[in-house]
Amino acid sequence: MTVLSVNVNKIAVLRNSRGGDEPSVVAAASACLDAGAHGITVHPRPDARHIRADDVHALSELTRRRGVEFNLEGNPFAPARDGYPGFLALCESVRPAQATLVPDGDAQLTSDHGFDFVRDAQSLRPYVDALKAMGCRVSLFADAHTASGREGIGHAAVIGADRVELYTGPYAEAFADGTVDAMASQFAEAARRAMDAGLGVNAGHDLSQANLGYFLEHVPGILEVSIGHALIGEAIYQGIDATIAAYMRILAK
């Protein structure tokens, strides 16, 4: 069964908007795990707009104690700055089960594209090597909605990555627009190319209760979905327990 890793960045956004420690990122993550989620994801940004370095350490302790996977996302090329030691330094200190490399910049509101593997592969290789030496499984953010993204996906395997995470924002847009069939076919092709290259396949961004089932029915081999924005929004209305239970029913199908 595809596993669910809950991204709790949005809890940190709410906390930071007021200051202080509430709502607690750790308490929210614990509630998600209590409800049946398989793991926790965070994507700390260098500007600390949501998840901070101290959150990463606290969540690492929680997931280790609970015996579940911690997925740490970030841009390996982003330089360290005050309050942010750099992605590799964070991984070195907490040793997440999975490190997901994402080509995001400070100006981006959210992650909105994958790596150009033909262009970026050799620059990524030393980071992949370093993370694997730490014992992390390495996943690289990848585009499935462009021909170049699909065709270049095998380069992730060549440089030693274990998985790719398909950026599903374009899929979610197509689902909402009623043009999903062609887009799902592109994602299925990307997943098959990745698996043919020996890569595991994850997926994430804008997945929700509404569109997840169709995605998993039409895109083969998805090992993990990372869901945050929609899930936290749904939990405002439904509660965390009911929301996680709904996702688990979708995954079980």
State the average pLDDT over residues 214-238. Answer: 98
Instruction: Give the active site residues.
Output: 43, 73, 205
> Where along the chain do its domains lie?
3-252
| pLDDT confidence of residue 109 | 56
Q: What is the pLDDT of residue 25?
A: 98
CA distance 205 to 203: 7
Overall pTM > 0.85: yes
Nearest Cα residue to 156 out of 118, 105, 102: 118
Determine the average pLDDT of the residues in 9-20.
96
pLDDT at residue 231 tops 90: yes
Q: How high is the pLDDT of residue 113?
A: 72
Q: What is the pLDDT of residues 201-216, one digit of tens each?
A: 999 999 999 999 999 9
What is the reported pLDDT for 55? Answer: 98
Helix intervals (H) in the chain? 9-18, 25-34, 53-66, 87-94, 117-133, 147-151, 154-158, 169-177, 180-196, 209-218, 229-238, 240-252
Q: Which two tokens stand for residue 197?
A: 């290259």
**Domain 3-252: which CATH class?**
alpha beta
What percent of the chain has pLDDT above 70? 97
Nearest residue to 41 via CA among 244, 178, 225, 239: 225
> In this structure, which amino acid lies at residue 42?
V
Per residue in 112-162, pLDDT tens? Answer: 578 999 899 999 999 999 999 999 999 999 999 998 899 999 999 999 999
Q: How far apart are CA 232 and CA 228, in angstroms?
A: 6
Q: How many CB atoms lie within 10 A of CB 67?
A: 7
Exposed e or buried b per residue across 213-232, where buried means at least 16 C-beta atoms within 10 angstroms of its C-beta: eebbebbeebebbbbbbbbb
